[in-house]
């Protein structure tokens, strides 16, 4: 079936889709985006690979949580500003409610529920899902030798520890410089100077200050959820002194064993610091800037390919973003292949994905269930590599 790009749809279908992904999308932004690709491009044909890839490129150019902003872009494409709000909220809310429940248990009982078995089965499935998306998106992103070179260089740079933002900017500039050497305009990319904004100091932290800390993170931070945690460490642990290193590490653990955006750990930290009002304020603060960014840039997305120089920039960003996804996948694969049983779960997921049209969300659920069962019967660790 050809893509039905440009056709509007009901808001309810966005709520159902992204609400389900908010409960089943484990594995971080790369995995989330791969699952969205399966649902939006492969299964529902709302857009083609090139359009989806362009949305990834634009998302990488603005600050905020990438996978959450992708839901907003898709919602905006499908149902206008109502779709933007509905898709983003549907994706954020389940993860935030799950994290809120775990935060309550943490504060009440002083510990976090174990999720190692769940992650054991989920990780290899997530790697398979991302690889499938990479193979499909690669056909749209790698247009020539230049974009292929950018993608390969991005993989190497990511593995070497280069920050995501300079890497994306370098990809854009490289393609622009080669294609349009005489007419390239000056490219001004957002830089680290944006991160200079600081929240007011003081202790204890109030709701207003808490909102400022998380809104600043949502408005000025590029990179993965783990970069966000480093950012919060500077504010809440080092500068304000209202959160301990141990509790920040517990927030990392909660983010790893829950679905949806890692930025939902803001809910956990907010609850630990200021109860339910703090959880609400922190959650709104971290995600609110993204709604405004996507709404502002949405009307410009389709016009990017109308000019040669902006098209070159986007092609460079897309190739670099694909390389980043591949680099993330390589790291995840090494972590996921814990033993022969984990490799077997991944191989079975790949076979099911190849032979059937089963939604990736159900594959992730199946992998998690397999991990839990394996843990309960004492199978984890057999045949360890």
Lowest mean pLDDT across 2-6, 90-94, 133-137, 295-299: 2-6
Question: What confidence tier does 222 reach under pLDDT thresholds 50, 70, 90?
Answer: low
In a domain, 219, yes or no: yes
What's the angle, vertex CA 270, arms to CA 288 and CA 234, rounded to 5? Answer: 85
In a domain, 284, yes or no: yes
pLDDT computed for residue 181 by the predictor: 60
- Report, as an integer, the average pLDDT of 240-265: 75
Count other Cβ atoms within 10 Å, centred on residue 316. Answer: 27
330-354 pLDDT per residue, tens? 776 887 787 888 899 889 988 988 8
In a domain, 164, yes or no: no
Burial track 78-107 (b if 16+ CB lie within 10 A, e otherwise): bbeeebbbbbbbbbbbbbbbbbbebbeebe
* More confidently predicted of 239 and 86: 86
Question: What confidence tier does 197 reach under pLDDT thresholds 50, 70, 90?
Answer: very low
In a domain, 175, yes or no: no
Instruction: Spell out where the chain has E strands.
Output: none
95-125 pLDDT per residue, tens? 899 889 888 887 876 655 556 677 678 778 8
pLDDT computed for residue 108 by the predictor: 77
Q: 130: cis peptide before it, omega within 30°?
A: no
Based on the number of CB atoms within 10 Å of its own CB, is 12 exposed (0-12), middle (13-18) or buried (19 or more)? exposed
122-156 pLDDT per residue, tens? 778 878 877 877 787 777 778 888 888 988 998 88
- Report, as an integer, the average pLDDT of 212-224: 77
In a domain, 117, yes or no: no
* Cβ within 8 Å of residue 87, ≥6 positions away: 14, 15, 17, 18, 71, 72, 74, 75, 76, 78
Lowest mean pLDDT across 188-197, 202-211, 306-315: 188-197
**Percent of the chain beyond pLDDT 70?**
79
Q: What are phi and psi of 314, to 5 degrees?
A: -65, -40
Residue pair 175/316 in contact (Cβ under 8 Å)? The answer is yes
Question: What confidence tier does 92 reach under pLDDT thresholds 50, 70, 90?
Answer: very high
The Cα 382–Cα 247 span in angstroms is 33
Q: Which two tokens stand for residue 242?
A: 């209202």
Q: Which two tokens stand for residue 178?
A: 């080669």
pTM: predicted TM-score of the whole model, two decimal places:
0.67
In a domain, 181, yes or no: no
In a domain, 329, yes or no: no
In a domain, 243, yes or no: yes
Q: Is the pLDDT of residue 226 over 60?
A: no
The H or E element spanning position 273 is: helix 265-301
* More confidently predicted of 7 and 232: 232
The Cα 106–Cα 271 span in angstroms is 10
The Cα 360–Cα 215 span in angstroms is 32
Question: What confidence tier does 315 reach under pLDDT thresholds 50, 70, 90?
Answer: confident
> Which range in 1-5, 191-195, 363-367 is most confidently predicted, on average pLDDT?
363-367
pLDDT computed for residue 93 by the predictor: 93
**Percent of the chain beyond pLDDT 90?**
23
Number of domains in the chain: 1
The mean predicted confidence, pLDDT, of the chain is 78
Q: Calculate Rg over the CA atoms of the chain.
A: 21
* More confidently predicted of 367 and 311: 367
**Angle of helix 340-355 versus helix 116-141 axis, rounded to 10:** 50
Count other Cβ atoms within 10 Å, centred on residue 350. Answer: 18
pLDDT computed for residue 53 by the predictor: 87
- The pairs formed by 348-354 with CB atoms below 8 angstroms and a separation of 24 or more are 349/124, 349/125, 349/128, 349/129, 350/128, 350/131, 353/128, 353/129, 353/132
| Domain housing 210 | 192-288
- Report, as an integer, the average pLDDT of 266-291: 93
């Amino acid at each position: 079936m050809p893509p039905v790009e440009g056709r509007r749809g009901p808001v309810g279908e966005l709520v159902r889709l992204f609400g389900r992904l908010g409960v089943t999308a484990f594995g971080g932004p790369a995995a989330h985006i791969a699952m969205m690709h399966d649902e939006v491009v492969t299964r529902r044909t709302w857009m083609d690979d090139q359009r989806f890839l362009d949305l990834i490129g634009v998302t990488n150019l603005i600050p905020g949580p990438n996978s959450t902003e992708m839901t907003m872009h898709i919602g905006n494409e499908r149902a206008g500003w109502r779709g933007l709000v509905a898709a983003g909220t549907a994706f954020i809310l389940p993860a935030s409610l799950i994290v809120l429940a775990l935060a309550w248990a943490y504060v009440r009982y002083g510990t976090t529920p174990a999720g190692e078995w769940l992650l054991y089965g989920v990780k290899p499935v997530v790697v398979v899902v991302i690889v499938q998306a990479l193979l499909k998106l690669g056909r749209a992103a790698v247009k020539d030798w230049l974009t292929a070179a950018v993608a390969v260089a991005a993989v190497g740079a990511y593995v070497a520890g280069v920050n995501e933002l300079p890497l994306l900017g370098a990809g854009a500039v490289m393609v622009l410089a080669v294609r349009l050497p005489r007419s390239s305009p000056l490219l001004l990319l957002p830089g680290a100077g944006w991160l200079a904004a600081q929240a007011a100091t003081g202790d204890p932290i109030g709701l207003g200050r808490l909102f400022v800390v998380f809104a600043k993170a949502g408005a000025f931070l590029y990179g993965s959820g783990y970069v966000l945690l480093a950012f919060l460490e500077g504010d809440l642990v080092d500068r304000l002194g209202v959160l301990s290193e141990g509790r920040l590490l517990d927030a990392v653990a909660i983010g790893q064993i829950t679905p949806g955006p890692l930025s939902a750990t803001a809910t956990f930290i907010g609850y630990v610091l200021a109860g339910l009002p703090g959880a609400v304020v922190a959650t709104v603060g971290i995600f609110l800037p993204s709604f405004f960014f996507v709404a502002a840039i949405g009307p410009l997305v389709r016009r990017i390919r109308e000019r040669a120089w902006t098209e070159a920039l986007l092609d460079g960003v897309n190739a670099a973003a694909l390389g980043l996804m591949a680099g993330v996948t390589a790291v995840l694969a090494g972590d996921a292949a814990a033993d022969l049983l984990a490799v077997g779960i991944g191989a079975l997921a790949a076979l099911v994905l190849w032979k059937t049209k089963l939604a990736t969300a159900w594959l992730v659920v199946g992998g998690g269930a397999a991990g839990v069962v394996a843990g309960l019967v004492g199978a984890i660790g057999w045949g360890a590599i």
